[in-house]
Structure 1
Amino acid sequence: MRKILTAVAVAVVLLAAPGAAAAGGPGATPGSSGLGDTYYPDYGNGGYDVEHYDLKLGYQPATDHLDGTATITARATQHLSRFNLDFALTVSSVTVNGSPAAFAAEGPHELVVTPATDIKRHSAFTVVVTYQGIPSSVVVNGFTSWKRVSDGALAVNEPESAWWWYPSNDHPLDKATFDVSIAVPDGTQAISNGVLRKEPYSIAGWTHWDWYTTKPTATYLAFMAIGQYDLVKGTGADGQPLITAYAKNLGTFGDNARASIGRTAEIIAFEETVFGPYPFEAQGGIAGPIDGIRFSLETQTRPVYGYRAWRNGPNTSVVAHELAHQWFGDNVSVHNWTDIWLNEGFASYAQWLWSEHEGMGTAQQVFDQTYAFYPADSDFWQVLPGDPGAEDPFDNAVYDRGAMALHQLRLALGDKKFFAILTGWGKHKRYCDGSIAEFREYAERLSGTDLTGLFQVWLYTKGRPNLASGPSLSAPAKPASWDFIRMARER
């Protein structure tokens, strides 16, 4: 879920734009500066698909200074005269296929690149961008997704986080694999997605951490956590490397975090029984520092948890939520940010299933409590989970009413068909994107049931739906899991 961090009132840093001859031969056209997302039309870029990001980074926590070289391997989807990358730091040079390219800032987060030679449609090309800056001083559209902390930083946010640490095609429609190599002062940990290529090594006072991913990853799901952490290495139930990390300044929260994130392998094993095989090559989780982010996010292979998750004790419900996103949001990502129910409604329902598994309240009991919790005249029922709006696509209705919609689907179809749909969807759309319309069509095909009315009532109609046979609205029994479920997404 998205949490916009407190913005610092500093102007966006403009990028250097050296003179160079503009390309643009016959038939070549510029790639678009956005992918036309309904909520965020300027996010992502047209004209190419990225296949791989190779990031070489150096970060100094004392000054919050980041140096980087990004090598981007992509393939043109049209005959390109120029193309855009989403980025907001200061760029010093750009090459395309080894030749210097012209570049300039345009708008709040666009880097316009004009290669010396047109790029033919379907051809592979390589872009190398060198850059530097102080990410916490860069504010775009009124906020920053780079959280500086006392001993390092967190590059974590949704739907945008890449702009502050690497240039990208920043939309879930364009997934890629990653190599992330981070050099930090000795004694500092630097954690990212996937697998450690080798043990960290020190050169001249700097420790190098080399991470890589083998599965396609949406740009906002790539992350960095830099600072003082205790790393715990293990092996998941499927034999995958499992790395958890705990900020050293969590104090008493640290024990609660360990008691929760320490059950990651167990929770994944349970979720495999309802969602199908775990889709990635590594497992784990990060307990962020006490001066870090408040929220938690499903960063791929290794979610990052905000400190507030542990303030009232261990909370495996939040772990169940973020790990469920590995299937719903990470493996199958949104086609459009209007489809956010496919991420948050499903991860929220995973908490209900985990509650049932742990004997802390059945999914039906959690449904009853949720339905009764929001009075019929509450503004909650005026937000449409299937189209919550660009101002707050992460409204509580997307989570709670979204999970209620899934429970109604389960009741309508029965467990056999319902769970066949949940496991089949991940296979059907493996490492791709999907829309609500596509999910409904898929569910109808597998179940042989017209679901138009159910989806319309629970996702696209304002007001509290009437129940054919409902719970007592006066005082339903509160499940033991209720407070943990709600705490999992407090902002």
Structure 2
Amino acid sequence: MHRRIIAPGALAAATLLLAIPASAATHSPGAPGIGDPYYPDYGNGGYDVSHYDLRLTYQPETDQLSGTATISARTTQDLSRFNLDFLLDVSEVRVNGAKAEFTTARQHELVVTPKTPLAKDTPMTVVVRYSGVPSSKSAYGFTAWQRTPDGGVAAGEPESAWWWFPSNDHPLDKATYDVSVAVPDGTQAISNGTLQSTSSRLGWTRWNWRENKPQATYLATLALGKFDITTGTSESGVPVINAYSKDLGDNDGAARASVERTGEILDWLTGYLGPYPFSSAGGYVPNTKAGYALETQSRVYYSPRQFANGSNTSVVVHELAHQWYGDSVSVKGWKDIWLNEGFARYAQWLWSEHEGEGTAQQLADYVYASYPADDPFWTVKPGDPGPDKQFHAAVYDRGALAVQALRNEIGDEAFFTLLKGWPRQHAYGNASVADFQKYAEQISGKPLAALFDTWLFQPSKPPAPAARAASLAKDPAPAQPKSWKKIQATNDVHTH
């Protein structure tokens, strides 16, 4: 018989382990990324957010933003610590009322350790107090906060939340929002959803906005500055709120001539896409230098440059179509971007037809004929373009070409049933290209794997037999549709 000698340190460690409840020992940190291969560090694991309550104060002269974020969530595992995506300076974090330890990691991670580990499926309220100058913060070599002469703007894809609120920053974790911002009198705060109220006190005005439908973090927007705000109602009864910076200069008239048609275009889109999915609509045009537009939910962001050549209803159509394809139904992963951009571009083709400037078929034929087989355009796969080509022109144009090929394959009756049914099938949720193919096969009763592979996943121009089978490219040199240049001018809507 041998006696086992235990060193004093080991004995202490063993005693400590015995003192920890068995359940606590199984708790583990949430993943620092949600698992998207395009952006491995974006989003987080271990919890699911249901609501963000953001109560903020902003000083336009200094770009100073401060406030408190209250995040309602539920754990999805036995959780010892978790991450939030955030860049501003944090002074305090509480989890379920108790002060939590926190630190930073990587380029945009706030790491939170609750006082007590949390069991799986436990409600979690996280309070983060913070402040900072968003325009002074950068990650991965860029900043998504746009400083303007009279304030600032948060609107960017695939990220912009880090610069103004802590979040689980990936489309898979959608939530509702209350955004309350105090600004000096004479300055306005624009955000998503419905303006619940405003109140003024001691030289400050507080603006209270609410988005009551699930919203992806990149679709949350905040614009702070001096705006002219217009309100109205579409013919179908949707409240429309638009806002224009007071210093747009020569672009002001064209911006208003375009964005003020939001209600009309929205009602027109419902004929193709079904009932509008949100409680309000509209857009805003701040005095920014960037040239892109973005489908920020229910309150589209437009840069002034979109209107540099006059009115631009095509970009309004594109961004409003995203309210169904991208906002209500969001991607499961960023590789599924075709579900957003291919269909928003196709809506522009349908608008072209509505305006008598070229049919969708004519536009599809022109796209197919415009790029020879050896053009790099065809090497981009709209169904999985890669993070570096996520917003390549091919995702838009080849993506819409794939939509037309699908329409020709299954016929108009099934196609337009599909176009309306998809946003209803996955309303306020997430879906993938594979999910869409399955649904299209269900609606049409046809096997579509070969068609999807040819038009979305092959890094080459679909050969002439495939094009003819999809009723495309019958004319080797089709005339350029009248709307072509207008639509091409919006190819950079998300390039920034």
Written as runs of structure 1 = structure 2, the 5 A alignment for 1:156-167 is 156-167=155-166
Q: Following TM superposition, by how much is the alpha carbon of 1:454 offset from its aligned partner in structure 2, in angstroms? A: 0.8
Instruction: Output the CA distance in 2 between the equivalents of 1:85 and 1:222.
Output: 16
Equivalent residue, structure 2, for 1:358: 355
Equivalent residue, structure 2, for 1:319: 316
Indicate the SS of the match to 1:31: coil
CA contact (8 A) 1:338 1:387 kept: yes
CA contact (8 A) 1:274 1:422 kept: yes
Written as runs of structure 1 = structure 2, the 5 A alignment for 1:192-211 is 192-198=191-197, 200-211=198-209
CA contact (8 A) 1:74 1:126 kept: yes
Cα distance per residue 1:372-393 (max 9 Å; x no partner): 2323221111111111111231
Equivalent residue, structure 1, for 2:4: none
Give the letter for the 2:220 counterpart. Answer: A
Instruction: Output the CA distance in 2 between the equivalents of 1:80 and 1:338.
Output: 29
Instruction: Output the CA distance in 2 between the equivalents of 1:472 and 1:420.
Output: 29
CA contact (8 A) 1:55 1:70 kept: yes
Q: Following TM superposition, by how much is the alpha carbon of 1:422 offset from its aligned partner in structure 2, in angstroms? A: 1.3
Indicate the SS of the match to 1:354: helix
Instruction: Output the CA distance in 1 between the equivalents of 2:307 and 2:363.
Output: 21
Written as runs of structure 1 = structure 2, the 5 A alignment for 1:296-375 is 296-375=293-372
CA contact (8 A) 2:95 2:125 kept: yes
Give the letter for the 1:385 counterpart. Answer: P
Indicate the SS of the match to 1:267: helix
Instruction: Output the CA distance in 1 between the equivalents of 2:63 and 2:389.
Output: 30
Written as runs of structure 1 = structure 2, the 5 A alignment for 1:141-152 is 141-152=140-151
Instruction: Output the CA distance in 2 between the equivalents of 1:222 and 1:292.
Output: 20
Indicate the SS of the match to 2:212: coil
Q: Which structure has more helix as a fraction of its residues?
A: 2
CA contact (8 A) 1:221 1:298 kept: yes
CA contact (8 A) 2:145 2:152 kept: yes
Equivalent residue, structure 2, for 1:405: 402
Indicate the SS of the match to 1:419: helix
Number of residue pairs the alignment of both structures matches: 467
Cα distance per residue 1:83-105 (max 9 Å; x no partner): 11111111010001111000000
Q: Following TM superposition, by how much is the alpha carbon of 1:448 offset from its aligned partner in structure 2, in angstroms? A: 0.5
Indicate the SS of the match to 1:260: helix
Q: Following TM superposition, by how much is the alpha carbon of 1:27 offset from its aligned partner in structure 2, in angstroms? A: 2.1
Equivalent residue, structure 1, for 2:228: 230
Instruction: Output the CA distance in 2 between the equivalents of 1:204 and 1:274.
Output: 49
CA contact (8 A) 1:253 1:307 kept: yes
Q: Following TM superposition, by how much is the alpha carbon of 1:240 offset from its aligned partner in structure 2, in angstroms? A: 2.8
Give the letter for the 2:231 counterpart. Answer: K
Instruction: Output the CA distance in 2 between the equivalents of 1:135 and 1:373.
Output: 43
Equivalent residue, structure 1, for 2:55: 56
Q: Following TM superposition, by how much is the alpha carbon of 1:280 offset from its aligned partner in structure 2, in angstroms? A: 0.6
CA contact (8 A) 1:68 1:166 kept: no
Equivalent residue, structure 1, for 2:15: none
Give the letter for the 2:481 counterpart. Answer: P
Segments of 4+ in structure 1 off by > 4 A? none
Indicate the SS of the match to 1:191: strand
Give the letter for the 2:180 counterpart. Answer: S
Q: Does 1:464 align with 2:461?
A: yes
Equivalent residue, structure 1, for 2:17: none
Give the letter for the 1:486 counterpart. Answer: Q
Instruction: Output the CA distance in 2 between the equivalents of 1:316 and 1:454.
Output: 32
Instruction: Output the CA distance in 2 between the equivalents of 1:238 and 1:97.
Output: 43
Q: Following TM superposition, by how much is the alpha carbon of 1:471 offset from its aligned partner in structure 2, in angstroms? A: 4.2
Instruction: Output the CA distance in 2 between the equivalents of 1:374 and 1:134.
Output: 46
Of residues 385, 389, 392, the one that matches 2:389 is 392
Percent identity, aligned pairs only, is: 56
Give the letter for the 2:326 counterpart. Answer: G
CA contact (8 A) 1:295 1:489 kept: no
Instruction: Output the CA distance in 2 between the equivalents of 1:58 and 1:393.
Output: 35
Instruction: Output the CA distance in 1 between the equivalents of 2:53 and 2:353.
Output: 42
Indicate the SS of the match to 1:210: strand
Written as runs of structure 1 = structure 2, the 5 A alignment for 1:229-268 is 229-268=227-266
TM-score by length of 1: 0.93
Indicate the SS of the match to 2:249: coil
CA contact (8 A) 2:213 2:278 kept: yes
Instruction: Output the CA distance in 2 between the equivalents of 1:58 and 1:238.
Output: 36
Give the letter for the 2:200 counterpart. Answer: S
CA contact (8 A) 1:148 1:292 kept: no
CA contact (8 A) 1:188 1:227 kept: yes
CA contact (8 A) 2:104 2:111 kept: yes
Indicate the SS of the match to 1:196: strand
Equivalent residue, structure 1, for 2:8: none
TM-score by length of 2: 0.92
Cα distance per residue 1:245-286 (max 9 Å; x no partner): 111111221111111111111111111111111111111111
Q: Following TM superposition, by how much is the alpha carbon of 1:243 offset from its aligned partner in structure 2, in angstroms? A: 0.3
